[in-house]
Amino acid sequence: MHEQVRDYQVTQEPYYRAVGDEVDLYEAAYAVRMPMMLKGPTGCGKTRFVEYMAWKLGKPLITVACNEDMTASDLVGRYLLDANGTRWQDGPLTLAARHGAICYLDEVVEARQDTVVVIHPLTDNRRVLPLEKKGELVEAHEDFQLVISYNPGYQSLMKDLKQSTKQRFGALDFAYPEADVEKEIVSHETGVSADVAGKLVGVAERARNLKGHGLDEGISTRMLVHAGSLIARDVAPLAACRMALVRPLTDDPDMRDALDAAVTTFF
C-alpha cells in the first residue's frame, strides 16, 4: 500500500451486523469496480458498512463529509504557496484515485451538483481524473473505487443528484435493522442487557411509526446506542431516554409527550 494512503487503512475489524446479501453484492460490485451508491436514512449504518467493507477488502478508505461549500478543489486538490513557489497538493479524491483507495463521499446530495460532476470521468469506462489546474490526467489506480451515500428522504427539487450522475452507480438500500438485529447491536455496542436493549428498540419502533406524522425522522440506531451507554453509566432509563432520544429529536410539545409516553411504557 502506498505510504500516502496508509493512514487511511482500517486496521481493526469494525463491528458490522449484516442484514442481507449486501456484503456479497458489494464484493461483486468492487470486483468490477462499479461505483456504488448507498441509500438510506440517517444513522442506519451506511458509514459503518463501508468501513467494514474497506476492512474486509483490505483497501484504505478516504471519507469526505460533503457540504454545500465544497468546491471542486476541495475534492481534487489545489496549489499551495511554498518557499519555492507553488506546490500541488492532491485532494482526497485524487489521493484515492492515484494510490488505490476507496473514496467515500458521505451525504453527497449536500454538495453542489457542479462539484459532483468532477467525479464523472472517474465513473465511466475512462476511469480518469483530469486535474485541469495542474494540467495532468490521472488514471485511476486499479484498486480505486468510488462510493457515495444518499438519504432519499432529504431529496428535494433543489437538492437531488442529476440523472447523469445517478446512472453511473450501482445502488444498495439500507434501512434500520430488524428488531432482533438492532437489539443485538445496541447490547453489543453499549454493554446493556438484552432486556434493556430490547426496550430501547421498542421505543424506537414506536417513534419510527410517527415519522411523517409530526416527526421528520425516527429514532436511529445511533441514538439507541447513546441512550444505552448512559444507562450503562447508571443514568436512570427515563432520564437517559429523554436526553438521548426525545429532546434531540423534536421541540414540539405534543410529539415530546407522545415520545415520553412511549418511553414510560417500556421502562
Window 72 to 131, contacts with a copy of itself (CB under 8 A): 72, 74, 78-86, 89-92, 95, 106-107, 110, 112-115, 117-118, 120-121, 124-126, 130
Map the footprint of a copy of itself across residues 214-253, applying CB under 8 A: 216-217, 220, 222-223, 226, 229-230, 233-235, 239, 243-244, 247-249, 251
Residues 19, 12: Cα–Cα separation, whole Å: 21
Choice between 82 and 180, CB closer to a copy of itself: 82
**Among residues 100, 79, 108, which one has the least CA distance to residue 91?**
79
> How many CB atoms neighbour CB 205 within 10 A?
15
Map the footprint of a copy of itself across residues 187-216, applying CB under 8 A: 216
3-state helix, strand, coil in the chain (%, to 5): 45, 15, 35
Choice between 200 and 230, CB closer to a copy of itself: 230
Choice between 234 and 254, CB closer to a copy of itself: 234
- Cα Dmax for the chain: 68
Residues 158, 35: Cα–Cα separation, whole Å: 24
Min CB(194)–a copy of itself separation in Å: 20
Half-sphere exposure of 238 (CA within 13 A, CB side): 6
Map the footprint of a copy of itself across residues 47-66, applying CB under 8 A: 47-48, 63-66
C-alpha grid cell, residue 37: 451508491
SS3 58: coil
Choosing from 59, 168, 183, 199, the residue that interacts with a copy of itself (CB under 8 A) is: 168
Choosing from 13, 155, 209, 261, the residue that interacts with a copy of itself (CB under 8 A) is: 155
Map the footprint of a copy of itself across residues 5-34, applying CB under 8 A: 7-8, 21, 25, 28-29, 31-32, 34
Choice between 64 and 200, CB closer to a copy of itself: 64
Residues 100, 144: Cα–Cα separation, whole Å: 4
